[in-house]
Structure 1
Amino acid sequence: MNHVAFTQMKDGTAEEYRFLERLEDQFNAELVERLLKALRHLAHGLSGYRVSRLEHSLQSAARAEADGGDDDLVIAALLHDLGDELAPYNHSQLAASIIRPYVKAEVTWIIHHHGLFQQVYYAHHFGEDPNQRERYRDHPWYQKCVDFCERYDQASFDPDYPTPPLEHFEPALRRVFARQPFDPEVIGAEPAGGFDSPV
């Protein structure tokens, strides 16, 4: 079989879906290569900062690593802005969706909200409320997101920071994405009301 016969999913046979599943497994095995390619592409994206978006991502991951962060946190820092090009108004949620099957729910929550939490640094310049993150003040992971933004994200636009190349993070990236997706032993408990719930 080279392709399925159906033109509507509801008409597919068990054999066709097993065939497609094998192809999907082969395709999904190349996920890390696609992530690396997408990260490299960040070198040519949004301009105006003193570092490229790739350098910012590498620097964020380097700071998390230097701070003793585990693979989950370091790789989340590496990928946190991966959505900038395709989802500029909700890039945080796109990045969180990419890592969600592979990392602790706490780390997914941090990445999901980092864009909103970052507004504390600049929203007032646009006449907007810089304290929108306060709606999450009672969330158990609130402070960890504050710390992520302060220590790894907003501080990582320094062209003089000793930043390792992307290859330095590749082993950790492969370890994280080699995990069984949605393994409850890794992810733990997700927020009861979902990732947008204040508590």
Structure 2
Amino acid sequence: MKQVHASFRALADSTASDWELLTKAFVPFLNDLPNRILSQMGELAHDHGGFPVNRLEHCLQTATRAYQGGQDEEYVVCALLHDIGDILAPATHADLAATILKPYVSPENHWMVEKHGIFQGYYFFHHIGLDRNMRDQFRGHQWFERTAEFCEKYDQPSFDPEFDSMSLEDFAPMVCRVLSADRLMAKGPEA
């Protein structure tokens, strides 16, 4: 089957019918986002970065601990995806994860993912010549304690080769629900 493409070569030359065609093509692409996210998560299995477990296992442990801790589905998906940026953006991995999640999650979960790298530093920054209390710049913020708890309970203990994690497949339905096109559309363009 021949694919139909928009006719313009510059956006200024586009027409309403071009954008109708593009919108129809975008919906299936948007609906496939959870599959692309899960595929990218699978790539984390190929890198240990010197840690006791690979990056995927770390994410699975973090999400499993959050799930077992009674956190809601959105929080668990944030825990699963919090380090999705490790391979593509190692210096800004938390920002990449937060950008992916922003249109789909609450402001407090977005902030938690966005800031977790600094908060996680409390547990090791002093070993690499950085200020372990760097997170204190956010002390007093309404989501400081939430983010500190995420790192303490779920993120920082999740490097245990003996831990029995749930699988990526176990989390797939949650990812599909949280990153659904319907959820995005319900939140609106300002999400």
TM-score band, normalised by shorter chain: over 0.9
Superposed, which structure 2 residues align to 1:129-144 within 5 Å?
A: 129-144=131-146
- C-alpha distance in 2 between matches for 1:48 and 1:126: 15
Q: 1:181 is paired with a residue of what secondary structure?
A: helix
Bigger Cα displacement from structure 2, 174-183 vs 82-91: 174-183
- C-alpha distance in 2 between matches for 1:102 and 1:162: 28
Report what 1:181 is aligned to: 184
Superposed, which structure 2 residues align to 1:120-159 within 5 Å?
A: 120-159=122-161
1:43–1:52 Cα contact (<8 Å) kept? yes
- C-alpha distance in 2 between matches for 1:183 and 1:72: 15
Bigger Cα displacement from structure 2, 164-173 vs 151-160: 164-173
Amino acid at match of 1:65: Y
1:80–1:96 Cα contact (<8 Å) kept? yes
1:76–1:99 Cα contact (<8 Å) kept? yes
Q: TM-score under structure 2 normalisation?
A: 0.92
Q: Quick one: structure 1 residues 31 and 119, their matched pair in 2 at CA, closer, same or farther if it must change by over 3 Å?
A: same
Query: How far is 1:180 from its partner?
Result: 2.2
Higher helix proportion, which one? 2
Overall identity of the aligned pairs, in %: 41
Amino acid at match of 2:52: R
Q: Quick one: structure 1 residues 161 and 91, their matched pair in 2 at CA, closer, same or farther if it must change by over 3 Å?
A: same
Query: How far is 1:171 from its partner?
Result: 1.5
- C-alpha distance in 2 between matches for 1:26 and 1:156: 35
Amino acid at match of 2:167: P
Q: 1:90 is paired with a residue of what secondary structure?
A: helix
Q: String of CA shifts for 1:34-54, please: whole Å, max 9, x gaps.
A: 111111111002431111111
Report what 2:71 is aligned to: 69
Query: How far is 1:5 from its partner?
Result: 2.0
Q: String of CA shifts for 1:55-77, please: whole Å, max 9, x gaps.
A: 11010000000100001110000
The alignment yields a C-alpha RMSD, in angstroms, of: 1.8
Report what 1:31 is aligned to: 33
2:103–2:187 Cα contact (<8 Å) kept? no
Query: How far is 1:182 from its partner?
Result: 6.3
1:58–1:164 Cα contact (<8 Å) kept? yes
Which structure 1 residue ranges, 5 or more long, are not aligned?
A: 191-199
Q: String of CA shifts for 1:117-147, please: whole Å, max 9, x gaps.
A: 1111111122221111111101000000000
Query: How far is 1:184 from its partner?
Result: 4.5
- C-alpha distance in 1 between matches for 2:86 and 2:12: 35
